[in-house]
Amino acid sequence: MLLSPFRVRRIVHLTIVASALSALAACNDDDPVEPEPEPEVQTMTLTAGTSSITIDKTTGAPSGQLTVPAGTTTITATFKKADGTTETLVTGAEFDVRISPATGTPFAWTPNTSLGGTLVTSSGVTSGQTIPSTVDLYHRTEQHADFGPYNFTIRIQ
């Protein structure tokens, strides 16, 4: 059975109206979805024992080299806002500090839920050696870096 042009137009019109009403119903102003606030990290400080460096978002430059002993080292990170207060939105439940060598495999990095991790140098790494590296603050749920990546240097004691 063939439909008349009038019936075709009427079906198309009703389909458009139904789609529009569906879209309006989905836009319920009583229950707005607020976007999750993003952290406002201005600086990251990495600490390994008594050595620490700070990287500022404005310049991206580290304050020096991070000195670590050969072998296994725990590195912690702290994050501050532009006003110097701790950025409380950055938690180990949602974020990882990721550190990696710029080239090769002179060390392995394992992040932990305390906003840091464990760095284990390879057997061929020697005292005095410097390792160009990168660091970032990775938001696991959103799958992107909220700070970095930034270049810095690890110096082996």
Query: Does residue 61 lie within any of the structural domains?
Result: yes
Cβ(70)–Cβ(157) under 8 Å? yes
pLDDT of residue 32: 66
Q: What pLDDT score does 37 carry?
A: 83
Q: Residue 148 falls within a domain, yes or no?
A: yes
User: CA-based diameter of the chain, in Å?
Assistant: 87
114 contact partners, CB below 8 Å, separation of at least 6: 76, 92
Question: Concatenated DSSP letters for 25-94?
Answer: HH--TTS--PPPPPP---EEEEEETTEEEEEETTT--BSSPEEE-SSEEEEEEEEE-TTS-B-TT--TTT
Q: What is the domain-level CATH number for residue 58? A: 2.60.40
pLDDT number for residue 36: 72
Confidence at residue 18, expressed as pLDDT on a 0 to 100 scale: 55
pLDDT at residue 24 in the model: 47
* H or E segment and range at residue 20: helix 5-26
Q: Is residue 15 part of a domain?
A: no
Range of the domain at 121: 43-156
pLDDT tens over the chain, length 157 residues:
565 655 656 665 555 655 554 554 555 555 567 777 889 999 999 999 999 999 999 999 999 999 999 999 999 999 999 999 999 999 999 999 999 999 999 999 999 989 999 999 999 999 999 999 999 999 999 999 999 999 999 999 9
Q: Is residue 138, in this structure, part of any structural domain at all?
A: yes
- Of 93, 78, 85, 83, whose CA–CA distance to 147 is shortest? 78
Q: What is the count of structural domains for the chain?
A: 1
Give me Rg for the CA atoms of the chain: 26
pTM score of the predicted model = 0.78
Domain-embedded: residue 11: no
